[in-house]
Structure 1
Amino acid sequence: MIDSDAIDISGEMNEWSRIAASGNTSSAKFCPVCANHIYHYNPSNPHHLMLKPSTLSDTSDINPTIHVWVCEKQDWFQIPEGVLTYDTQP
């Protein structure tokens, strides 16, 4: 998760939205050419983006401190000790 004012994103993006199991709206911005998701967000809180780090050219500065949807994680992925986890969306 990142604050929207902490990152600059340029270029055209498409958007989709759906109602999540929680009843909240989940929206995503994605590339109109390749459909790669850039980030997800809750429209009622647009200042907090759930950035998709695979879209970054350099991920060496990323040090995740929270893992969400761990109930659906792959068995082979090991969550580091001491990080906050949520079974679903907090």
Structure 2
Amino acid sequence: MTNRTASCCCGQLRIEVQGDSLGAGVCHCFACQRRTGSVFATLAAYSAPFAVTGTATEYVRTGDHGTAFRFRFCPICGSTVFHTEEGNDTYVMVAVGAFADPDFPAPQDSVYECRKHAWVRLPDGITRYAKDTD
């Protein structure tokens, strides 16, 4: 079984996931743009169990459909590393950049295309959604 470790910039906060990703996607919503400081977030889902080391600061945000998400970031360097859905401990969403792996597979989905910057180009064949898919 393949294990992957994602970490913050300073290395204090880490998450180890097991197995293949359930899928990866990008989100262009304004909350993700503000949260990442980039024009979109790129996330990969992994089934539980997962192991976290280090200390995380948490921020809970409620999405457009009323689902609450708990984001974990490093209190030292500020890097967002992962988040979970409140009340659902079956999977975790990990920031793809936190793996620091340029060979990480391309995302399959793109949500909130209605807020995508016009100059952003994504892989051919990606499934596109104007808003959230919930």
Q: TM-score, normalised by structure 2?
A: 0.56
- CA–CA distance in structure 2, aligned partners of residues 83 and 19 of structure 1: 26
> Is the CA contact 1:15–1:28 (under 8 Å) kept in the aligned structure 2?
yes
Question: Gapped runs of 5+ residues in structure 1?
Answer: none
Q: Root-mean-square deviation (CA), in Å?
A: 2.2
Question: Gapped runs of 5+ residues in structure 2?
Answer: 1-43
Q: Which structure's residues are more often strand, by fraction? A: 2
2:70 aligned partner: 27
Q: Cα gap change, 1:86/1:41 in structure 2, threshold over 3 Å: closer, same or farther?
A: farther
Question: 1:48-75 deviations in whole A, cap 9, x for unaligned?
Answer: 3332122222131222111122222221
Q: Cα gap change, 1:9/1:59 in structure 2, threshold over 3 Å: closer, same or farther?
A: farther
1:73 to 116, 121, 131: 116
> Is the CA contact 1:26–1:40 (under 8 Å) kept in the aligned structure 2?
yes
Shift of 1:28: 0.5
> Is the CA contact 2:48–2:92 (under 8 Å) kept in the aligned structure 1?
no
Q: Cα gap change, 1:47/1:81 in structure 2, threshold over 3 Å: closer, same or farther?
A: same
- CA–CA distance in structure 1, aligned partners of residues 62 and 80 of structure 2: 18
> Is the CA contact 2:106–2:123 (under 8 Å) kept in the aligned structure 1?
no
**For 1:2, what is the secondary structure of its paired residue?**
strand
Q: TM-score, normalised by structure 1?
A: 0.77
Q: Cα gap change, 1:31/1:4 in structure 2, threshold over 3 Å: closer, same or farther?
A: farther
Q: Matched residues, percent identical?
A: 23
2:33 aligned partner: none
Instruction: Answer 1 or 2: higher relative contact order, Cα 8 Å, separation at least 6.
Output: 2
Q: Cα gap change, 1:70/1:7 in structure 2, threshold over 3 Å: closer, same or farther?
A: farther
